[in-house]
C-alpha cells in the first residue's frame, strides 16, 4: 500500500462546475512529430471536465483506492504547518502541478524518507529541487508534450494582444468609452516584425510554426540547432547566444526551462541590450526574468510590454509588482491547464502511476530524474543543480 499526496489548485469560488460551455474536447491522434498521447489502461473521468482542482482529483481516486492505496488531495501547500508538509512525512508519491506548485525543497525531501516518485502533472519540474532528487534517489517524471501546444497558443495570443494593445482597448469598452486614439496610440501590426524565441523545443517550435503565416521574420536561439529542413521551411535565423538574438528582435518569447543556465537570464543588462520598445512574452518560468528589472524597463519605455503567465512564487502575493506594472498582459499560470490540457496530463499521470505500480519502465520522454541522475527528457533539457532554491526569490 502506497500513500500518494496530490497537491492541486483550489476549486472555483462557486464550486466545481456542474455544466461546461462545451460538450466535448477534440480527440487528438498524436502530438506533432509523432509522439503518442498518454496510454493508460483506462480513465475514470470525462475529458473536458475540471480535473486540476482539488475536487477534480485528476480523476485518480477510484483507480488508486481500487488498488488499495491512500490518496490525499490538498491545495494547502506552503509553510511548515501546511497539509502538504504534514502529509509528506510518510508519502511514497507526490503529485503536483506547475500552476500551483508544491515546492519540493531539499528540506522537504529530507523530511520524506519514504518518497520515491515525484510526478509533475504538466511540464516543468523546476519546483522540485532536482539536485535533492538526484541525491535522494527519487524518480521525477512529467507528462511531456501534454500542454505544449496549449502554451504555444497562449504565447501567440499574448504577442498579438501586447503589440495590438488589446487589453487596454477592451477596458475602454467595458468602461463605456469609445476612445480610439487612446487605444491606438500604442497599437502596431505584428506583420514585418522580428520575433525570436529563447528555446525552440516543443513549445518554442510550435510558436514559430504558428507565427509563420503572420509574415514575421523568425529567429531563435537554443542549445541544439534545429534540423536544416525545419530552419528552411520556417525561414529561421539561428543565433548562438541569447545576446545576439535579443539585439535584433522586436518581440522575444521565452520557451526554455528554468535551470541554472536560465535563472535570472533577463536582467537589466540583457534587457538594456534589446531594441527600445521591445516586447517580452514569458510563459516559461517567472525566475528566468529579474522581477524588478522588468518593472524598471516598462517604466522607462525600454520595454513596450511584458506578458506571461509564470511568476515566482506561485501563487503570486497580492502585492507582486507584476500585477500592477505598466503595459503588462499577465494572467495567472493558466496557459497549460485548459480543460483540453488537463485531460491529457491527467491521463499521463495515470499512465506513469500504472507503470510505477506494475514495475514497468516509465517512458523515457517522461523521465526527468531517475536512478540518481538526470534522465530521459530531463537529461536533454535540464542541467544539474537547483534553480528553484525552494520558495526563495533569486538573490
**Using CA of residue 119, residue 307, residue 275, residue 193, what is the dihedral sign?**
positive
Identify whether 147 is a catalytic site residue. Answer: yes
Q: Which of 60, 130, 270, 284 binds ligand NDP (CB under 6 A)?
A: 284
CA 342, distance to chain mean position in Å, is 13
Q: Is 236 near ligand NDP (CB under 6 A)?
A: no
3-state helix, strand and coil shares in percent for the chain, rounded to the nearest 5:
35, 15, 50
Q: What is d(CA 255, CA 267) in angstroms, rounded to the nearest whole number?
A: 17
Closest CA relative to residue 341, chosen from 126, 22, 49, 103: 49
| Selected catalytic residue, list 285, 328, 344, 363 | 285
Residue 321 CB, shortest distance to ligand NDP, in Å, is 20
* Closest residue to bound ligand NDP by CB: 201
Q: Is 96 near ligand NDP (CB under 6 A)?
A: no
Q: Residue 220: in which H helix or E strand, if any?
A: strand 217-221
Q: Which of 112, 138, 193, 200 binds ligand NDP (CB under 6 A)?
A: 200
What string marks each residue from 353 to 392 as x (binds ligand NDP by CB under 6 A) or -? ---------------------------xx-----------
SS (H, E, C) 7-36: ECECCCCCCCCCCCCCCCCCCCCECCCCCE
Q: How far apart are the first and last CA of the chain?
A: 42
355 by DSSP, 3-state: which?
Answer: helix
Q: Which of 3, 202, 219, 344 binds ligand NDP (CB under 6 A)?
A: 202
Q: What is d(CA 197, CA 283) in angstroms, rounded to the nearest whole number?
A: 11
Identify whether 314 is a catalytic site residue. Answer: yes
Cβ-based nearer residue to ligand NDP, 71 or 218: 218
What string marks each residue from 248 to 277 as x (binds ligand NDP by CB under 6 A) or -? -------xxxx--xx---------------
| Selected catalytic residue, list 154, 219, 259, 333 | 333
Identify whether 333 is a catalytic site residue. Answer: yes
- Which amino acids are annotated catalytic? 147, 285, 314, 333
Q: Which residues bind ligand NDP (CB under 6 A)?
A: 122-124, 147-148, 151, 198-204, 221-224, 255-258, 261-262, 283-285, 309-310, 333, 335-336, 380-381
Amino acid at each position: 500500500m502506497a500513500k500518494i499526496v496530490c497537491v492541486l489548485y483550489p476549486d472555483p469560488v462557486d464550486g466545481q462546475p456542474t455544466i461546461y460551455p462545451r460538450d466535448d474536447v477534440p480527440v487528438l491522434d498524436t502530438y506533432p512529430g509523432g509522439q503518442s498521447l498518454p496510454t493508460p489502461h483506462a480513465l475514470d473521468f470525462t475529458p473536458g471536465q475540471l480535473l486540476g482542482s482539488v475536487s477534480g482529483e485528476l480523476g485518480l481516486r477510484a483507480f488508486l483506492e481500487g488498488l488499495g492505496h491512500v490518496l490525499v488531495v490538498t491545495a494547502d501547500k506552503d509553510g511548515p504547518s501546511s497539509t502538504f508538509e504534514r502529509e509528506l512525512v510518510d508519502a511514497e508519491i507526490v503529485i503536483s502541478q506547475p500552476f500551483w506548485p508544491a515546492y519540493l525543497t531539499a528540506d522537504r525531501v529530507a523530511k520524506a524518507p519514504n518518497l520515491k516518485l515525484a510526478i509533475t502533472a504538466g511540464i516543468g519540474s523546476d519546483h522540485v529541487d532536482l539536485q535533492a532528487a538526484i541525491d535522494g534517489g527519487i524518480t521525477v517524471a512529467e507528462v511531456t508534450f501534454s500542454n505544449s501546444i496549449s502554451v504555444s497558443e497562449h504565447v501567440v495570443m499574448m504577442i498579438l494582444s501586447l503589440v495590438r494593445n488589446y487589453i487596454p482597448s477592451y477596458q475602454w469598452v467595458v468602461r463605456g468609452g469609445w476612445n480610439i486614439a487612446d487605444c491606438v496610440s500604442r497599437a502596431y501590426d505584428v506583420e514585418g516584425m522580428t520575433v525570436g524565441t529563447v528555446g525552440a523545443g516543443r513549445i518554442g517550435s510550435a510558436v514559430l510554426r504558428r507565427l509563420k503565416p503572420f509574415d514575421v521574420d523568425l529567429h531563435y536561439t537554443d542549445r541544439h540547432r534545429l534540423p536544416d529542413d525545419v530552419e528552411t521551411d520556417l525561414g529561421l535565423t539561428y543565433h548562438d547566444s541569447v545576446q545576439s538574438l535579443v539585439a535584433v528582435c522586436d518581440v522575444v518569447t521565452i520557451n526554455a526551462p528554468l535551470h541554472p543556465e536560465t535563472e535570472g537570464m533577463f536582467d537589466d543588462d540583457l534587457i538594456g541590450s534589446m531594441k527600445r520598445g521591445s516586447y517580452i512574452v514569458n510563459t516559461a518560468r517567472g525566475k528566468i526574468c529579474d522581477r524588478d528589472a522588468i518593472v524598471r524597463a516598462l517604466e522607462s519605455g525600454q520595454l513596450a510590454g511584458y506578458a506571461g503567465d509564470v511568476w515566482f512564487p506561485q501563487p503570486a502575493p497580492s502585492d507582486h509588482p507584476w500585477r500592477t506594472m505598466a503595459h503588462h498582459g499577465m494572467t495567472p499560470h493558466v496557459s497549460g491547464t485548459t480543460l483540453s490540457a488537463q485531460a491529457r496530463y491527467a491521463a499521463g499521470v495515470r499512465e506513469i502511476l500504472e507503470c510505477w505500480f506494475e514495475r514497468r519502465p516509465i517512458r523515457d520522454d517522461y523521465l526527468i530524474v531517475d536512478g540518481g541522475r538526470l534522465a530521459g527528457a530531463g537529461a536533454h533539457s535540464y542541467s544539474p543543480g537547483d534553480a528553484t532554491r525552494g520558495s526563495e526569490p533569486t538573490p
